[in-house]
Amino acid sequence: MIKIMLVGSNHTLDMMKVLLNESAIETSISKNEALPDVTIYEIDSIQTLFKTPKSFTNPTFLYITNNNKELLDNVKNYAVSGLIFPPLTTVGIMSKITNLSLIKPSKIKKEDYEVTRIKIMAKSESIPPLPALAQELIKLTRDDSTSITQLTDNIKMDQGISTAIVKLVNSPFYGVKQDISSIDRATALLGFNSIKNIAIASSMNSYYQKNFSMYKTTGNEMWKHSYNVACISQIIGKQLELDHESLYLAGLLHDIGKIVLVDFLEKPVNYIEDEQEQIGFNHAEIGALVLEKWAIVSEVTEAVKTHHNFDADTFGKILYFANKIDNNKELADEIIREMQLVFGIQDITIVTKKILAAINDDNEVFR
Ligand SMILES: [Fe+2]
Ligand SMILES: [Fe+2]
């Protein structure tokens, strides 16, 4: 049961009660109850916004009912988990609050927890490190003049990856009008970094050859989701002038913990809280453990660890939004708008276009 506190009008309170009582998750809404899991502030004017605290100790959302430009421009100064806009809908609200990692007291006995912990650690140790090709590619940098030939030579040695790259570069996402049939041609047209990134994504296919029915998905869908989150994170990273290469890698690896945890789940899970409740761990923290072992740069590991946290740093928050966009494609426009305000992005048109092209791309590689 998720406790929500609304700081706002009685009218909104009544409306939320009606909407959320019908939802699959039990929810109680109160105005004054202590320690809610989630707080929602209703913002109907710039004055209300200015009266609202800027940082919070629990996941907090702003429900914005006024489109005043000054108000919207100021939203980025508030460390919120996200924004909610009218009209309020059950799906709209639930998609926000269930994407968070809410710390729930686990029902697991202490001894069982310890045993599971040891087993999970052992399992994380046994996950093979990133494929050698991916590791080499991550090390290659554009500045090195020998890199491009080295890159294409390395890729060509792997038939499976070469085929996957050729299929991927022909996706509408890359916007290349002509048919690309070779790695050399693909590199010439798309450039070093794009090919390097596609190759890393392709080489990760091997991790997903597993049964993911406990996550109600398939390995190929997981792989595609990771690739989409990588592309979205990179797009946002470029826009914000951040290290988008690291963000791409973080996106590819963000759910790697599921590869370990899936073997411990006895019941299907819908949300990250369900993992926590069933086994006392979640895939974000286990993913970070695996990446630490692989000696992946710490900012990537940290972003993976916090990709469901409302108070994540910039990288974690980018993953958080990218994940949310890909998991709720039908709400993508709204989440992108929310993200625009949270990061204070001026013009979102091109970003939106690129993100939509990425998530709606049904490439045969992932089938
Ligand atoms: Fe996740
Ligand atoms: Fe995810």
Tell me, in angstroms, the distance from the centre of ligand 2 to residue 158's CA. 28
Number of Cα atoms under 13 Å in the Cβ half of residue 16:
28
Specify whether the CB–CB gap between 284 and 310 falls below 8 A.
no
Residues 201 and 222: their CA atoms lie apart, in Å, by 12
pLDDT at residue number 30: 65
* Of residues 36, 40, 34, 31, the one with CA closest to residue 1: 36
Domain 2-97: give its CATH superfamily. Response regulator (3.40.50.2300)
Task: Name the one residue in this structure whose structure tokens are 């309020």.
Answer: 88
Tell me, in angstroms, the distance from the centre of ligand 2 to residue 98's CA. 13
Query: pLDDT digits over 226-238, tens only?
Result: 999 999 999 999 9
Tell me, in angstroms, the distance from the centre of ligand 2 to residue 262's CA. 14
**178-209 burial by CB neighbour count: b if 16+ within 10 A, else e?**
eebeebeebbeebebbbbbbbbbbbbbbebbe
Tell me, in angstroms, the distance from the centre of ligand 2 to residue 126's CA. 22
pLDDT at residue number 201: 93
Query: pLDDT digits over 249-293, tens only?
Result: 999 999 999 999 999 999 999 888 889 888 889 999 999 999 998
* Of residues 217, 200, 192, 208, the one with CA closest to residue 259: 208
Tell me, in angstroms, the distance from the centre of ligand 2 to residue 122's CA. 23
Domain ranges in the chain? 2-97, 110-366
Say which CATH architecture domain 110-366 belongs to: Orthogonal Bundle (1.10)
Task: Give the number of whichever ligand sits closest to the CA of residue 328.
Answer: 2
List the pLDDT tens digit at each of the 367 positions of the chain.
678 888 999 899 888 888 887 554 555 666 655 678 888 999 999 999 999 999 888 889 999 999 999 999 999 999 888 899 999 888 888 877 776 666 555 667 777 888 888 899 899 888 888 888 888 888 887 766 677 888 889 899 989 899 999 999 988 888 888 888 899 999 888 888 889 999 999 999 889 999 999 999 999 999 999 999 999 999 999 999 999 999 999 999 999 999 999 999 999 998 888 898 888 899 999 999 999 988 899 999 999 999 998 678 999 999 999 999 999 999 899 899 999 999 999 899 999 999 999 999 888 888 8
Task: Give the number of whichever ligand sits closest to the CA of residue 224.
Answer: 2
- In sequence order, which residues have a C-beta less than 8 Å from that of residue 237 and are 6 or more positions away? 243, 244, 246, 247, 248, 318
Tell me, in angstroms, the distance from the centre of ligand 2 to residue 284's CA. 9
Residues 16 and 9: their CA atoms lie apart, in Å, by 11
- Residue 218 is classified by DSSP as -
Phi then psi for 212, rounded to 5 degrees?
-110, 30
Tell me, in angstroms, the distance from the centre of ligand 1 to residue 285's CA. 10
Tell me, in angstroms, the distance from the centre of ligand 1 to residue 324's CA. 9
CA angle 84, 88, 89 (to 5 degrees): 115
Tell me, in angstroms, the distance from the centre of ligand 1 to residue 86's CA. 27
Task: Give the number of residues written for the chain.
Answer: 367
Structure tokens at 330: 């039908």
Tell me, in angstroms, the distance from the centre of ligand 2 to residue 254's CA. 6
CA dihedral sign, ordered 206, 209, 212, 218 = positive
pLDDT at residue number 25: 52
H helical segments located in 180-256: 183-190, 192-203, 219-239, 244-253
pLDDT at residue number 99: 62
Task: Name the one residue in this structure whose structure tokens are 């049939």.
Answer: 181
Task: Give the number of whichever ligand sits closest to the CA of residue 100.
Answer: 1
Tell me, in angstroms, the distance from the centre of ligand 2 to residue 359's CA. 13
Task: Give the number of whichever ligand sits closest to the CA of residue 271.
Answer: 1
pLDDT at residue number 27: 59
Structure tokens at 83: 């924004």
- In sequence order, which residues have a C-beta less than 8 Å from that of residue 367 and are 6 or more positions away? 220
Enclosing H/E stretch for 5: strand 2-7
pLDDT at residue number 24: 47
CA angle 40, 41, 47 (to 5 degrees): 170
Find out whether the peptide bond into 131 is cis, omega within 30 degrees of 0: no
Task: Give the number of whichever ligand sits closest to the CA of residue 307.
Answer: 1
Same fold, 2-97 and 110-366: no
pLDDT at residue number 92: 83
Tell me, in angstroms, the distance from the centre of ligand 2 to residue 8's CA. 32
Tell me, in angstroms, the distance from the centre of ligand 1 to residue 327's CA. 10
Per DSSP, what are the bridge partners of residue 60?
39
Tell me, in angstroms, the distance from the centre of ligand 1 to residue 338's CA. 19
Task: Give the number of whichever ligand sits closest to the CA of residue 222.
Answer: 2
Residues 252 and 250: their CA atoms lie apart, in Å, by 5
Specify whether the CB–CB gap between 318 and 155 falls below 8 A.
no
